[in-house]
């Protein structure tokens, strides 16, 4: 692919180029950096392309601190403007670099990486690198060999500059093909939703979340002590089932060895299945104390493995904060995933969450949607009883229990409420009688009877779930309220695979619409907070965590609540949206 480019070296050329580029409807946009981390590297090049002509700005020619150089004002204005549309691949990366090094936001985003994921609609065999996407949509082979070249060199080579110009130029034909495909697949609305969430997520990753090292270490010490006590008790309980004889006291096994644990439990007469995974052992815990003790040990051991000293390595040497990587479309449902480290898997226990806190003079504002997936399900089903349980503002699980067990709400027992709660959440995931029996300890017949009473109480809900599952099997497609698409693949001759596909196809519109709502809330709150002291620091599915000055906490909490409710109302019409907000120095509710 032949490309023509201009290397901008002075202020007047930059001003003229930005003025010309600003008149274009769409621009290819890319950056070249000397590192992957914006706190540890240099933003070397910024490049734009009209498809026929590319412009490259070497920021090293504009001083050591581009964020404060007035000569770069035209560049910042062009980058931040909603028009022209900037087409970028994995724009979150570029957005973080221009925000940190140029002090401006990236506006008017069209992200070809996110668009590719949306169009793939869950097809796992598809690849989404720029080279793969260009090959798939444009039919052009893109040479990416210069990506790993030395972008910190005093003078960049002609080959490097051509590479930079070409990457920006190829985005224009890619944009043309992808916009047509998004329209054809009715994905335009969800694409816009995703693109508007890029900047909030980029800013969140830049801000990071403060992790108190001393508190974290205290928790590790405490967890180790608890683990050691439980391990000793477990060894004592397993000793009679250990086949080998020890001359030096109690026989012990490796508690982390599934084979040794399985043999010891079998020798004790525990009807343990072939696998000793937690899901297989949980039904045995009530009847066999040794199994309950084993599960307790494993919980503590996993905590030490997942949330031990290694977690502290993620604290950034420059900021003293944890800067996780959030993938916007981390699952086919549209949910976020998180890594390095995964802040979405921090245990709910106060001991862990209190380690994440606000800095001096700052506080956290923590808000989450109350039972958002159930509210979505109620809205989608149109079931009057289900909707009514939310409309009166009472304890939803108690209200459901009262309906199912034919008692007054005030007479609902804790067990009945627990059953109703598990049912309420279970139906979203296609809960069947066998699984419900395992969860509650009921017999198969009792579980089936409870499910019958439940769906007799909510007949339109039952009808919606059946219709949704049948549609997923028939069309092999599922959509969320925003139009997010999932292509469902399964072997129709495999009953288990068909059943799994039906459950997934039923759940996807519910869980995916919850993800839609969260992303819409992020873009709304980002606009509201732009001129305030608040910064987004974490998200967990239906929860948003902000950090702000203590003096602003009440105002920020109201803005956050309003934005989250407004986002929910865009997708849920018949059911009230409830958002719970807490102000705390620590990550707690």
pLDDT in tens, 281-305: 888 888 899 999 999 999 999 999 9
Q: With the C-alpha atoms ordered 283, 289, 291, 297, is the resulting torsion angle positive or negative?
A: positive
Angle, alpha carbons 508-513-516 (nearest 5°) = 125
What number is the average pLDDT over the span 51-70? Answer: 91
pLDDT of residue 245: 52
pLDDT of residue 374: 93
Judged by average pLDDT, the poorest of 232-236, 333-337, 402-406, 412-416 is 402-406
CA distances from 250 to 233, 234, 245, 386 (A): 12, 12, 8, 57
Question: Of the candidates 160, 151, 126, which has an alpha carbon nearest to the alpha carbon of residue 3?
Answer: 160
Instruction: Tell me the whole-structure pTM to 2 decimals.
Output: 0.92
Express each pLDDT in 260-275 by its tens digit: 888 889 889 889 888 7
Q: How many CA atoms lie within 13 A of 184 on its CB side?
A: 8
Task: State how far Cα 16 lies from the chain centre.
Answer: 41
Judged by average pLDDT, the poorest of 98-107, 243-252, 387-396, 529-538 is 243-252
Sequence-ordered list of residues with C-beta below 8 angstroms from that of 296, at least 6 positions apart, any chain: 230
> Phi first, then psi: what are they for 284, rounded to 5°?
-90, -10
Max Cα-Cα span within the chain: 87
Instruction: Please determine, for residue 106, whether its predicted confidence score (pLDDT) is greater than 70.
Output: yes
pLDDT of residue 449: 84
Judged by average pLDDT, the poorest of 17-21, 134-138, 384-388 is 384-388
What number is the average pLDDT over the span 294-321? Answer: 94
Sequence-ordered list of residues with C-beta below 8 angstroms from that of 586, at least 6 positions apart, any chain: 353, 354, 356, 357, 358, 364
pLDDT of residue 281: 84
First to last CA, the chain: 55
pLDDT of residue 249: 58
Cα distance between residue 363 and residue 68, in whole Å: 29
More confident residue, 323 or 239: 323
Question: Of the candidates 134, 132, 155, 173, which has an alpha carbon nearest to the alpha carbon of residue 49?
Answer: 173
What number is the average pLDDT over the span 219-231? Answer: 96
* Radius of gyration for the alpha carbons in the chain, expressed in angstroms and rounded: 28
Q: How many CA atoms lie within 13 A of 324 on its CB side?
A: 25
Given pLDDT bands bounded at 50, 70 and 90, which one contains residue 499? Answer: confident
Question: Residue 486 pairs with which residues in a beta bridge?
Answer: 478
Question: Of the candidates 381, 335, 348, 375, which has an alpha carbon nearest to the alpha carbon of residue 578?
Answer: 375
Count of CB atoms situated within 10 Å of the CB of 185: 15
CA distances from 183 to 135, 179, 192, 581 (A): 20, 6, 12, 38
DSSP assignment of 54-120 equals EEEEEGGGG-S-GGG-GGGHHHHHHHHSSSSEEEESSHHHHHHHHHHHT-----SEEEHHHHHHHHH
Cα distance between residue 279 and residue 563, in whole Å: 38
pLDDT of residue 59: 96
Count each helix (H run) and each strand (E run) in the chain, helices first: 22, 16
Cα distance between residue 103 and residue 555, in whole Å: 26
CA distances from 93 to 1, 88, 199, 205 (A): 25, 9, 10, 10
Judged by average pLDDT, the poorest of 141-155, 245-259, 350-364, 575-589 is 245-259
User: Is the Cβ–Cβ distance between 223 and 300 less than 8 Å?
Assistant: yes
DSSP-derived letter for residue 4 is: E
- The structure tokens listed for 138 are 């444009």
DSSP assignment of 363-391 equals EEEEEEESSHHHHHHHHHH--HHHHHHHH
pLDDT of residue 423: 82
Question: Residue 57 pairs with which residues in a beta bridge?
Answer: 8, 46
User: Is the Cβ–Cβ distance between 326 and 336 less than 8 Å?
Assistant: yes
- The structure tokens listed for 552 are 């602003």
Q: With the C-alpha atoms ordered 288, 294, 300, 305, is the resulting torsion angle positive or negative?
A: negative
Cα distance between residue 345 and residue 326, in whole Å: 13
Cis peptide before 467 (omega within 30 of 0): no
pLDDT of residue 239: 86
Q: Cite the DSSP H helix spans in 138-212.
A: 158-169, 171-184, 188-207
CA distances from 563 to 214, 523, 543 (A): 35, 9, 13
Question: Residue 580 pairs with which residues in a beta bridge?
Answer: 368
Judged by average pLDDT, the poorest of 387-391, 440-444, 470-474, 550-554 is 440-444
- All domains of the chain, ordered by start, with CATH? 4-185 (3.30.420.10), 213-309 (1.20.1060.10), 322-372+515-584 (3.30.70.370), 373-509 (1.10.150.20)
pLDDT of residue 225: 97
- The structure tokens listed for 100 are 């940190």
């Amino acid at each position: 692919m032949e490309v023509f480019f201009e290397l901008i070296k002075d202020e007047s050329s930059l001003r003229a180029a930005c003025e010309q580029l600003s008149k274009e409807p769409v621009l290819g946009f890319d950056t070249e950096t000397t590192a992957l981390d914006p706190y540890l590297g240099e933003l070397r090049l910024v490049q734009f392309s009209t498809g026929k002509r590319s412009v490259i700005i070497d920021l090293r020619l504009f001083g050591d601190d581009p964020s404060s150089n007035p000569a770069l004002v035209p560049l910042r204005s062009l980058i931040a403007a909603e028009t022209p549309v900037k087409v970028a691949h994995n724009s979150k990366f570029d957005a973080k670099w221009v925000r940190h090094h140029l002090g401006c936001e990236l506006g008017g985003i069209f992200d070809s990486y996110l668009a590719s994921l949306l169009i793939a609609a869950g097809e796992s065999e598809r690849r989404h690198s720029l080279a793969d996407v260009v090959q798939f949509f444009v039919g052009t082979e893109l040479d990416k060999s210069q990506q790993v070249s030395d972008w910190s060199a005093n003078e960049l080579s002609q080959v490097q500059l051509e590479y930079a110009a070409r990457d920006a130029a190829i985005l224009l034909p890619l944009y043309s093909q992808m916009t047509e495909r998004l329209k054809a697949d009715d994905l335009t609305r969800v694409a816009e939703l995703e693109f508007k969430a890029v900047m909030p997520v980029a800013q969140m990753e830049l801000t990071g979340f403060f992790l108190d090292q001393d508190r974290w270490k205290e928790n590790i010490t405490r967890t180790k002590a608890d683990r050691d006590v439980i391990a000793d008790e477990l060894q004592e309980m397993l000793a009679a089932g250990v086949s080998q004889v020890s001359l030096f006291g109690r026989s012990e096994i490796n508690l982390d060895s599934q084979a040794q644990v399985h043999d010891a439990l079998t020798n004790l007469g525990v009807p343990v299945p072939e696998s000793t995974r937690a899901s297989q052992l949980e039904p045995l815990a009530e009847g066999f104390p040794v199994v309950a003790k084993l599960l307790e040990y494993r919980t503590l051991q996993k905590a030490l493995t997942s949330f031990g000293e290694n977690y502290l390595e993620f604290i950034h040497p420059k900021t003293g904060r944890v800067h996780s990587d959030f993938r916007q479309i981390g699952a086919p449902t549209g949910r976020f995933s998180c890594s390095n480290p995964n802040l979405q898997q921090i245990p709910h226990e106060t001991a862990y969450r209190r380690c994440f806190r606000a800095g001096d003079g700052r506080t956290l504002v923590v808000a989450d949607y109350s039972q958002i997936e159930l509210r979505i399900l109620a809205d989608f089903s149109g079931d009057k009883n289900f909707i009514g349980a939310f409309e009166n503002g009472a304890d939803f699980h108690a209200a459901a229990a009262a309906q199912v067990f034919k008692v007054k709400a005030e007479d609902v027992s804790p067990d009945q409420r627990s059953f109703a709660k598990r049912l309420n959440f279970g139906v979203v995931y296609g809960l069947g009688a066998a699984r419900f029996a395992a969860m509650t300890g009921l017999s198969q017949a009792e579980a089936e009877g409870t499910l019958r009473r439940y769906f007799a109480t909510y007949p339109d809900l039952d009808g919606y779930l059946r219709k949704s599952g049948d549609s997923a099997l028939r069309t092999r497609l599922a959509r969320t309220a925003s139009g997010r698409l999932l292509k469902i693949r399964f072997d129709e001759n495999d009953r288990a695979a068909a059943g799994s596909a039906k459950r997934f196809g039923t759940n996807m519109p519910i869980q995916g619409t919850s993800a839609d709502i969260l992303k819409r809330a992020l873009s709304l709150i980002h606009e509201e907070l732009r001129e305030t002291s608040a910064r987004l620091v974490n998200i967990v599915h239906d929860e948003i965590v902000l950090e702000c000055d203590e003096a602003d906490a009440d105002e920020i909490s109201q803005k956050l609540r309003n934005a989250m409710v407004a986002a929910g109302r865009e997708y849920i019409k018949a059911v009230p949206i409830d958002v719970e907000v807490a102000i705390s120095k620590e990550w707690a509710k």
